[in-house]
Structure 1
Amino acid sequence: MDEPIKQIGERLKGLRDVLDIPAEEIAQLCNISIEEYLKMENGDGDISISKLQTISKRYGIALDVLMFGEEPRMSSYFLTRKDQGMSVERRQAYKYQSLASGFRGRNADPFMVLVEPKPEGSIIEQNSHEGQEFDFVTEGRLELTIKNKTLILNQGDSIYFDSSLPHCMRALDDKAVRFLAVIL
């Protein structure tokens, strides 16, 4: 898990160097402190997919480049075979698998997300990102909190929401939950 996070941090630093962007500007864009941002850039702190997406949109860099270090190449279609999508484990409890990493200029970012259960009473930090999000639960039960509203999604349930609202997710029943997330 540490190596992918460290590599993402290195790519963020490289982006800043190439485009001559002060770290303070990206920290402000992500609505975090400069100290927190520099930890992420050094590989000592985790950065959410939503923050990476915000950075990619603001500076015109493909999300895949920040996450995986690869530029998308396909423009007519991109096929992802079962369990073969580019993956990154950003946090111990989350694993993201990109389902369209090779498609250039896409309008949405689809991921298969695996959320491991956390110990009872664990604090889950809410995040937000511009745009909208669609989540479809394929396995397990998901607790989704949007602002102050908590919803339970069972296998087969889906939700479409304004992802600029603070939100967070938790696996229920002490079992992992798997869901399709499409970030628009």
Structure 2
Amino acid sequence: MTLLKASGFDKLNHRIQGNTMSEKNKIGAKVKLVRENRKLSIEDVSERTNLPAEQIKSIEDGSLVPNLTPLIKIARVLGVRLGTFMDDDENLGPVVTKAQDKKEVTRFSDRGNAVNSDLDFYTLAQNKAGRHMDPFIIDIFPSSEEEIKLSTHEGEEFIYVLEGEVEIIYGKDKYELKQGDSIYYESIVAHHVHSHGNEKAKILAVVYTPA
């Protein structure tokens, strides 16, 4: 798997400082930078991912809160890890995240073309070079049944419920998990994770995507 060189991240950080992207999506500039470094057009990425070109453009310019599934597809086409879109400088040694450390939030949506976030991701392995797993603490906000859209992508996921209750649709099955419950599944099967009821939930999630 090809990773961005350090100079690329330096260039990216400089560009983001002057970027007026929405607070809802801070990773669009990184998606665009990686794509341009690969000398691929939006149309090239669209053709290889089977994603609409307008959706990719909206992710890059920050007008759309990205769904995790298209980001994984884009990362695969660009030859980088999903975490590349969330990292700054890479760390070759262990990455320690202290409880008191301020954690940067990355906002996603599981509702397709959404302009508001219902998933707040806090990465626990930011800047870890060459990692194959991405661990997150995720705040899941209530959403209506009409907004549920199943997604599928390569890899595996592990979820442990820290607070509240979540419902997971996995293929034709549904699983209700409470605090202390966990689930491990292959994400190639269509699935969706959402809070159960009208209360926010918090989970520990580990996402593995193959190289």
What amino acid maps onto 2:52 in structure 1? S
Match of 1:106 among 113, 131, 154: 131
SS of structure 1 residue aligned to 2:86 = helix
Deviation at 1:86? 3.4
- Residues of 2 paired with 1:52 and 1:83: CA distance? 29
- Residues of 1 paired with 2:153 and 2:106: CA distance? 19
What amino acid maps onto 1:90 in structure 2? F
2:106 — aligned with what?
88
Instruction: Provide structure 1 residue ranges, at least 5 long, that are not aligned to the other structure.
Output: none
Deviation at 1:108? 0.6
Cα offsets for 1:158-181 (capped at 9, x unmatched): 111110111112211311111111
2:75 — aligned with what?
56
Cα offsets for 1:51-78 (capped at 9, x unmatched): 323333443334333124x1321x2311
1:71 — aligned with what?
89
1:19 — aligned with what?
38
Distance 1:35 1:58, change over 3 A: closer
Match of 2:142 among 114, 117, 134: 117
1:43 — aligned with what?
62
- Residues of 1 paired with 2:204 and 2:89: CA distance? 23
SS of structure 2 residue aligned to 1:2 = coil
Deviation at 1:39? 1.8
Deviates more, 1:14-23 or 1:41-50: 41-50
Cα offsets for 1:87-146 (capped at 9, x unmatched): 21224211000001121111211011110112x443212222211111111111101111
SS of structure 1 residue aligned to 2:161 = strand
Let me know the Cα RMSD of the aligned residues: 2.1
- In 2, are the aligned partners of 1:62 and 1:72 still within 8 Å (CA)? no
What amino acid maps onto 1:88 in structure 2? T
What amino acid maps onto 1:102 in structure 2? N
Instruction: Provide structure 2 residue ranges, at least 5 long, that are not aligned to the other structure.
Output: 1-20, 110-116
- The number of aligned residues is 180
- In 1, are the aligned partners of 2:35 and 2:41 still within 8 Å (CA)? yes
